[in-house]
Amino acid sequence: MSKVLSQWNALSEEEAALEILPCCGSLAWADGMAARRPLSDAAALIAAADEVWRGLSVKEWMEAFASHPRIGERKAPESATVQSAAWSAQEQRDMAAGDDAVKAALAAGNQKYERRFGRVFLVCATGKSTSEILEILRRRLRNDDATELKEAADEQRKITAIRLTKWLQG
């Protein structure tokens, strides 16, 4: 068992929820994770995270989505924890190298997405170029509401798994 996981397992339920909250951004998810302790290893942690995530309401998903900055922007929302904001900046670091025209198209696409779906466009940006993300955004703008909600939730699940891995490394 990792040192981080061992220490987390020993915290009070309230402390454990606050400690893991930056990995997802949903209070209900963090509470659900804390209630599942003790967890033995990274695989058990990721499996529990997926299970808790899938059991949340749409409102609780929206809370997690709202903790992310717009793709291509560095400023995190006020609801984001310091750690979540730092991870978002890391996850989007490749965006800075993008072409200005692509960045402008992405900003316009973000606005269109928010008008259409009423939430921030969420994509697991790790390892993706600005052009790839723009293509994904354009494709997802063609989704119906239900399909898009499922895609956004799956992207959040991927982001959470990456952040949990970082969290375990300390």
Distances (CA, A) of 99 to 106, 118, 138: 10, 27, 17
Q: Are 38 and 13 in contact (CB under 8 A)?
A: no
Buried b (16+ CB within 10 A) or exposed e, 150-160: ebbbebbbebb
Distance CA 119, CA 4 (A): 33
- Cα separation values, 71 from 51, 55, 92, 113, 126, Å: 26, 26, 7, 11, 11
Catalytic-labelled residue, pool 68, 70, 140, 163: 68
Burial of 38 (0-12, 13-18, 19+ CB in 10 A): exposed
> Quick check: is 68 catalytic?
yes
In angstroms, the CA 36 to CA 42 distance is: 14
- Angle, helices 130-140 vs 100-117, to 10°: value is 30
Just list the catalytic residues. Answer: 68
